Amino acid sequence: MEQNPWKILGQKLIYNNPWIRLTEFDVINPGGGEGIYGKVHYKNTAIGVMVLDDQMNTYLVGQFRFTVDEYSWELPEGGALVGTDPLEGAKRELLEETGLVAQKWEPLLKMHLSNSVSDELAIVYLATDLTQYDAMPEETEQLQVKKLPFATVYEMVKNGEITDAISIATILKIQLMILDGHFTK
C-alpha cells in the first residue's frame, strides 16, 4: 500500500449541516508546495438498488434534482447513516420509493463518487424475489416510478437519458453480467 504524500499543516471547519461537512486543509502537496485542499465529508453512505424481476424488468425512479436543476431518472437510491448497516438502508429506500420488498439481496458495487473533493461512498445492491406493497416516499420526494425491461434501461444509458452516476455504473455492470452469462435474457 502506498503512503500518503500529502502533509496536513492545519484545518478549519467551513460548513456543517446534517448531511455534509466541508473542511479546508492547509497542506504541503506531493510536489512540496504549500496550498489548500477542501474536503466534503458525507455523513451518509449513498445507497442504490438494482431491482430485477423474473422477466428482467427493473424499476426507475424519476424526480427533480435540486442540485443540477434537472429531472432525473435513476435507480431507487438514498442514504444510510455512516456506521449503520447499508443493506438495511437499501431495504428501506426500496420500500419507500417503489413499494417493493425483496427476499434476495446481493452486493453489486462499492465506489467513491467524486474522490477528488469528497469521501462519498456508494454501495449498490441487486434486489430480486420481489413483493409489491405501497410506496412511502419522504415529504421531500415527489417521485414517479417506471417498471421497464432492463434492455430499455440499458438503451437509456447508451442514449444519455440517464445521467446519475450510481445508476449508470450499476446498469453497465448488470449488462456485463448478462454478457458473462450471469443472467438469462
pLDDT higher than threshold 60 for residue 185: no
Q: 162-171 pLDDT, tens per residue? A: 999 999 999 9
CATH class label, 44-107+122-179: alpha beta
Return the domain boundaries, the chain: 7-42, 44-107+122-179
pLDDT of residue 1: 60
pLDDT of residue 180: 93
H or E, element range at 46: strand 44-51
Handedness of CA 159, 161, 163, 169 (dihedral sign): negative
C-alpha grid cell, residue 185: 435474457
